[in-house]
Structure 1
Amino acid sequence: MQTYGTTQQIVQQDNTENPRMGPTELEGKKYPAKAHAKKAKDFFLSKRPGGETSAAFFLGGADLLLYPYCDQTAPFRQNRYFYYLTGCEIPGCFVSFDLESEKLTLFLPDIDYDDVMWSGLPLSIKDAKQKYDVDEVLYVSEIEKSLKAFGSKEIFTTDTDVFKSKSFSTLVKSGDQDFFYALDEARLTKDEFEIGLLKHAALITDNCHKAVMSALPIETNETHIHAEFMYHSVRQGAKNMAYDPICCAGPHCGTLHYVKNDSSTENQHSILIDAGAEWNCYAADVTRCFPISGEWTKEHLEIYNIVSKMQDEAMEGIKPGASWEDLHLLAHKVLIKEFIKLGIFVNGTEEEIFASKASAMFFPHGLGHLLGMDTHDVAGHANYSDPDPLLVYLRLRRPLEKGMVVTNEPGCYFSPFLIEAGLKDPSKAKYIDMDVVEKYWYIGGVRIEDDILVTSTGYENLTGITKDPKEISAIVKAGISRGKDYFHNIV
């Protein structure tokens, strides 16, 4: 088996011959729902004078929804707050947690006997108790009785959207900001079980990215790249994407969240794919760029190396207590320094150009974001009203902590929309040599993104697929040498 990359993680072509249907280190272990509930309790009580425990949590999971005027259901996505307190992906469930007794109760949907012939028997109370880390399992029909048994205790929920028509909706208090704070802060740092899920999502994603790089003979359209990634994800047991994949070629790579994914790659040079698999509600988020021919052009490699340097220098600063804002601004400073060398930035010092905010014309988004059950995970404290164009789109605005998982994803884009807007500001335009910029339009943009766990002493990169341009070139060329017939035969 040939491997690529410089990390200790082995990246295979895919897991199709012997699929690993889950991380082996988690076999026989339950998702730690009770520990999560207790963690949320501690954060909630930190906001309450005297630490009053006379309260309870109650959450409804997502339910199946029918498309309008149709008997077909929309794709199911479990409520992430509910999943955090249960580890349960069954539609139509509820959960309660008594802060005083720390009793965690899961409520399963009542059995619809008319549906059994179509869908089979649902999970039993006994099997659910064995599968999930809860103290008690009841049916939904017992919710009202259970909530009334809390007596005078306040019962907090996020919202009543999935059960507003139920009589027990009047027994709960929704929208409490302390409750949201508790859930978000609890989810901020990941435990070993969650890290295991994230690592497995990352491994699947590594294999998918390598498969895309390897199968260019049959990828003549952005849609083919999208399909190739999803095919290998499903083959490995990950049936859901963490987000809509971004698969773009040439100038389209300059659109940050390009999701059309339907244009021909003919006569284009560059590919950017930003895609991540999901495993048990936990996400991977990885971006790789490569040349369609396997040969980097001078301009493409120049920009790729700049983005790589931005990522490397930011990476070295990742550790508990580090300011994510400072690392983000460091990436801007690296870009400015390298752009001066290329002649894109002129007529000023690094400090003057940084003060002008001109680098936001080429690097408009944040360095990265929190990652967990949501691709853009909770508790980042973003400030989208910040007047500073270098910081306004930064989704993480708090010091790093051990157990956080973040994406490190600097980028550099040649977008007419961004650059033309920036040129209208003389304080920025005076630093830009458009004759040099013209040489880079065809690239569109470059982004390199890895998933990073903050450890006690620094960081661990969960992403194993290579980003070395020479190794990427070798993978692409090896795929091209196999030809179309090879890939059509194996799929």
Structure 2
Amino acid sequence: MTVDQYPAKAHALKAAKHLKASGASDDALWYIEAAKTTLWPHSDQTVPLRQHRYFYYLTGYEAPDAIVTYSAKDDKITLYIPEIDDEEVMWSGLPLSPEQIRAVSDVDEIKYMNHLESDLKGKKLISVETYDKRDAVTMSQPLLDALDEARAIKDSHELALMRHASEITDNSHLAVMSALPIEKNEGHIHAEFIYHSIRQGSKNQSYDPICCAGTSAGTLHYVKNDLPLDDKLLVLIDAGAEWKNYASDVTRCFPISGEWTKECRDIYEAVLDIQNHCIEKIKPGVNYEDLHRDAHRILIRHLMRLGIFTNGTEDEIFDSRVSCGFFPHGLGHMLGMDTHDTAGRPNYEDKDPMYRYLRLRRTLEENMVLTVEPGCYFNKYLLDHFIQPEQEKFLDRAVLDKYWKVGGVRIEDDILVTKDGYENFTKMTKDPEEVAKIVKDGIAKGRKHFHCVV
């Protein structure tokens, strides 16, 4: 894809306006370091680079060991890059030249690192963190807050990157769903997603993929990704490709056989109903806490209809918070350079379990990007430790026993808040009939063409 120069200047100016609005002085020089080149212990192999997100926001520069400063008073960004090291060039090739950097970023000035000390002499420095080797730098919470708020609203350049990340992710999810004949365990699903992402140019994932089947899907951030698919009903894959440091985050579920069991279809359609309802309500001015409450109420209605919840009204069940045992996480979160992006204003100390893990607790604004990811899980450990005696009366355990093998269902899309509503970046189907057809078509083709190599 082709995009314009990274708009570092606009990002800095936007953050400076937030900082000024907080009452902070603009006389200090912002100072942020890039990610450092780090070696694995006892090895000459480097740890994979993940660029410092605040540094990238002010530069669009992806290489390590650099420093950026910004003078809000002068509206000037200066990028300091390492001098050319002949030995390093022998091993790794030439780094980007200042001219090449200017082609991809609109920073004002690019200097080599040997100019840094004299340029900083006598300057007051503030940053988003402290630095052990630079005592003059002061950690500034107002600067961190200002950059976080600036990052919350995406510009056209950022949105183009995120749309492309979403396109790669759609294709990779489709590939996973279509290739069950060569996916014999969760690790194969993981490998299939990564393979197709890399084939499309995305060498990094936004986060470690969650690839789980059967009861493993009842664990929210499952990490094993290695158990066999034998005797399991559903696959849940939560995975998103990254494009130029911008994230996507998508979850899909599908039946391993290509046929939905009644119980799996019950839960899948309940979660899909929740998601469709919440997405349709997204627009500027909507408070995300309200959508989160809606999500719980719709889930309660479905579980009452199925007979899992009983002996109470919708309001009584809602007020008891028993639904949090089945839907313990938040409806969604901000999305950007980080998967759980800045400025969501969560409160992990909240005593109310319905809101404790809700990572987005604010009114939506135009050009925010967020996820909508309701779920319903059947995790025996979670329920045994969450359900209190006063909540137990709302459960029919005999009906609940029919649903343990479902494990869990989560459906997640990436949503842009537009002027009048929303744009869904995620195009991968979630219609249960279409999902089943993709799986069955893949199985039919696989019998003829795929040969699994373990």
- Does the 8 A contact of 2:217 with 2:235 survive in 1? yes
Q: Match of 2:185?
A: 221
- What does residue range 25-104 of structure 1 map to in structure 2 within 5 Å? 26=3, 29-48=4-23, 52-104=25-77
Deviation at 1:409, TM superposition (A): 0.1
User: In terms of mean alpha carbon deviation, does 198-207 or 97-106 score higher?
Assistant: 97-106
Q: Match of 2:443?
A: 480
Deviation at 1:422, TM superposition (A): 3.2
Deviation at 1:489, TM superposition (A): 9.4
Q: Match of 1:402?
A: 366
Match of 1:255 among 199, 215, 219: 219
- Following the alignment from structure 2 to structure 1, what is the Cα–Cα distance between the partners of residues 447 and 68? 52
- Following the alignment from structure 2 to structure 1, what is the Cα–Cα distance between the partners of residues 96 and 190? 34
Deviation at 1:160, TM superposition (A): 3.9
- Does the 8 A contact of 1:269 with 1:292 survive in 2? yes
Q: Match of 2:344?
A: 380
- Does the 8 A contact of 2:129 with 2:140 survive in 1? no
Deviation at 1:126, TM superposition (A): 2.6
- Following the alignment from structure 1 to structure 2, what is the Cα–Cα distance between the partners of residues 114 and 318? 54
Deviation at 1:267, TM superposition (A): 1.2
Q: Match of 1:170?
A: 135
Q: Match of 2:298?
A: 334
Q: Match of 2:124?
A: 154
- Following the alignment from structure 1 to structure 2, what is the Cα–Cα distance between the partners of residues 232 and 129? 31
User: In terms of mean alpha carbon deviation, does 229-238 or 136-145 score higher?
Assistant: 136-145
Instruction: Provide TM-score, normalisation by structure 2.
Output: 0.98
Instruction: Provide TM-score, normalisation by structure 1.
Output: 0.90
- What does residue range 277-316 of structure 1 map to in structure 2 within 5 Å? 277-316=241-280
- Following the alignment from structure 1 to structure 2, what is the Cα–Cα distance between the partners of residues 357 and 33? 45
- Following the alignment from structure 1 to structure 2, what is the Cα–Cα distance between the partners of residues 34 and 490? 50
User: In terms of mean alpha carbon deviation, does 427-436 or 479-488 score higher?
Assistant: 479-488
User: In terms of mean alpha carbon deviation, does 208-217 or 480-489 score higher?
Assistant: 480-489
Q: Match of 2:200?
A: 236
- What does residue range 438-453 of structure 1 map to in structure 2 within 5 Å? 438-453=401-416
Question: What amino acid maps onto 2:338 in structure 1?
Answer: D
Match of 1:467 among 416, 430, 439: 430
- Does the 8 A contact of 2:61 with 2:101 survive in 1? no
Match of 1:200 among 136, 158, 164: 164
Q: Match of 1:5?
A: none
- Following the alignment from structure 2 to structure 1, what is the Cα–Cα distance between the partners of residues 268 and 103? 50
- Does the 8 A contact of 2:214 with 2:233 survive in 1? yes
Q: Percent identity?
A: 55
- Following the alignment from structure 2 to structure 1, what is the Cα–Cα distance between the partners of residues 447 and 237? 21
Corresponding residue SS for 1:283: coil
Question: What amino acid maps onto 1:457 in structure 2?
Answer: D
- Following the alignment from structure 1 to structure 2, what is the Cα–Cα distance between the partners of residues 489 and 322? 49
Question: What amino acid maps onto 1:123 in structure 2?
Answer: L
- Following the alignment from structure 2 to structure 1, what is the Cα–Cα distance between the partners of residues 427 and 450? 24
Q: Match of 1:455?
A: 418
- Does the 8 A contact of 2:309 with 2:396 survive in 1? yes
- Does the 8 A contact of 1:251 with 1:444 survive in 2? yes
Corresponding residue SS for 1:372: coil
- Following the alignment from structure 1 to structure 2, what is the Cα–Cα distance between the partners of residues 160 and 390? 35
- Following the alignment from structure 1 to structure 2, what is the Cα–Cα distance between the partners of residues 101 and 331? 47
- Does the 8 A contact of 1:450 with 1:461 survive in 2? yes
What do residues 129-185 of structure 1 show as CA deviations (whole Å, max 9, x unaligned)? 33321111001121111112xx4x532112244xx33xxx23322x21101111101
Unaligned stretches of 5+ residues in structure 1: 1-21
- Following the alignment from structure 1 to structure 2, what is the Cα–Cα distance between the partners of residues 45 and 488? 62
Cα distance change on mapping 1:62 and 1:485 into 2, 3 Å: farther
Deviation at 1:476, TM superposition (A): 0.5
- Does the 8 A contact of 2:182 with 2:452 survive in 1? no
User: In terms of mean alpha carbon deviation, does 309-318 or 479-488 score higher?
Assistant: 479-488
Cα distance change on mapping 1:302 and 1:283 into 2, 3 Å: same
Q: Match of 2:335?
A: 371
Match of 2:108 among 126, 135, 139: 135
Question: What amino acid maps onto 1:172 in structure 2?
Answer: V
- What does residue range 182-197 of structure 1 map to in structure 2 within 5 Å? 182-197=146-161
Corresponding residue SS for 1:201: helix
What do residues 322-364 of structure 1 show as CA deviations (whole Å, max 9, x unaligned)? 1101100100000111111100000000000001001001000
Corresponding residue SS for 2:58: helix
Q: Alpha carbon RMSD of aligned pairs, Å?
A: 1.5
Cα distance change on mapping 1:117 and 1:485 into 2, 3 Å: farther
What do residues 232-288 of structure 1 show as CA deviations (whole Å, max 9, x unaligned)? 000000000000000001010100000100000011111000000000000000000
Question: What amino acid maps onto 1:291 in structure 2?
Answer: P
Deviation at 1:65, TM superposition (A): 0.5
- Following the alignment from structure 1 to structure 2, what is the Cα–Cα distance between the partners of residues 348 and 159? 51
Deviation at 1:490, TM superposition (A): 12
- Following the alignment from structure 1 to structure 2, what is the Cα–Cα distance between the partners of residues 345 and 121? 64
Question: What amino acid maps onto 1:381 in structure 2?
Answer: R
- Following the alignment from structure 2 to structure 1, what is the Cα–Cα distance between the partners of residues 130 and 112? 18
Corresponding residue SS for 2:331: coil
Question: What amino acid maps onto 2:136 in structure 1?
Answer: L
| 1:426 is the counterpart of 2:426 | no
Aligned length: 454
Question: What amino acid maps onto 1:75 in structure 2?
Answer: P
